[in-house]
Amino acid sequence: MTTTTPRSFQEIILRLQTYWAEKGCAVLQPYDMEVGAGTFHPATTLRALGPSQWAAAYVQPSRRPTDGRYGENPNRLQHYYQYQVLIKPSPPDLQDLYLGSLKAIGIDFTLHDIRFVEDDWESPTLGAWGLGWEVWVDGMEVSQFTYFQQVGGHDCRPVSGELTYGLERLAMYVLGVDHVMDMPFNDPDAPIALSYGDVFRQTEAEYSRWNFDVADTTTLLKHFEDAEAECERILAAEHVDPKTGKTIVMAHPAYDQCIKASHLFNLLDARGVISVTERQAYIGRVRALAKACADAFLLTPAGGAEAA
Partner 1 sequence: MPDLLFEILSEEIPARMQAKARENLGALVLKGLDEAGVQYGVVETYSTPRRLVLHVAGLPERTPDLSEERKGPRTDAPEKALAGFLRSTGLTVEQLERRADKKGEVFFAVIEKPGRPLSGALAEIIPGVIRGFPWPKSMRWGTGDLRWVRPLTSILCLLDSEVVPFDVDGYASGNQTRGHRMVDPEPFSVNGFEAYRQGLAERRVTLEPAAREAEIAATAKKLCEEAGVTLIDDPALLHEVGGLVEWPVPLIGVIEDEFRDLPPEVLQTSMREHQKYFSASDASGRVTHFVAVANVQGADDGETIVKGNAKVLRARLADAKFFWENDLRAVKGGGLEDMAASLTSVTFHNKLGSQAERVDRIAALARDMAPVTGADAVLAEQAARICKADLASEMVYEFPELQGLMGRYYASAAGLDIRVAAAAEEHYSPLGPSDSVPSEAVSVSVALADKIDTLAGFWAIEEKPTGTKDPFALRRAALGVIRLILENGVRMRLSEPVGVALMRHVYLIGRRDAVALGEPLFDALEQFGEDHGGTERRAQFENLVSFLLSPQSGLAEQLEPGFEEDMRATVGDLLAFIADRLKVLLRDRGITHDLIDSVYALGDQDDLVLLVKRVDALQNFLGTEDGKNLLAGYKRAANILAAEEKKEKATIAPQPDPSLAVLADEQALFEALAATEVAVAPALYQENFEAAMLSLAKLRAPIDAFFDKVTVNANDPALRVNRLALLARIRVVTGQVADFSKIEG
Q: Write down the least CB distance from residue 162 to partner 1, Å.
A: 12
**Peptide bond before 124: cis, by omega within 30 degrees of 0?**
no
Is residue 140 within 8 A of residue 40, CB to CB? The reply is: no
From 30, 70, 106, 114, residue interacting with partner 1 (rule: CB under 8 A)? 114
Distance in angstroms (rounded) separating the CA atoms of residues 161 and 144 = 11
> What contacts 24+ positions apart, CB below 8 Å, involve 201-209?
201/71, 202/71, 203/71, 203/79, 204/68, 204/69, 204/70, 204/71, 204/77, 204/78, 204/79, 205/70, 205/71, 207/65, 207/68, 207/78, 207/79, 208/68, 208/69, 208/70, 208/71, 208/78, 209/70
From 158, 197, 253, 304, residue interacting with partner 1 (rule: CB under 8 A)? 158
Quick one: 192 or 276, whose CB is closer to partner 1? 276
Q: Write down the least CB distance from residue 283 to partner 1, Å.
A: 16
Pattern 117-156, partner 1, x by CB under 8 A? xx-x---------xxxx---xxxx------x-x-------
Number of residues that bind partner 1 (CB under 8 A): 37
Quick one: 113 or 213, whose CB is closer to partner 1? 113
- What residues between 53 and 112 interact with partner 1 by CB under 8 A? 74-75, 89-92, 95, 109-112
Binding span for partner 1 by CB under 8 A among 23-31, 184-192, 272-280, 287-295: 272-280
From 173, 223, 226, 304, residue interacting with partner 1 (rule: CB under 8 A)? 173
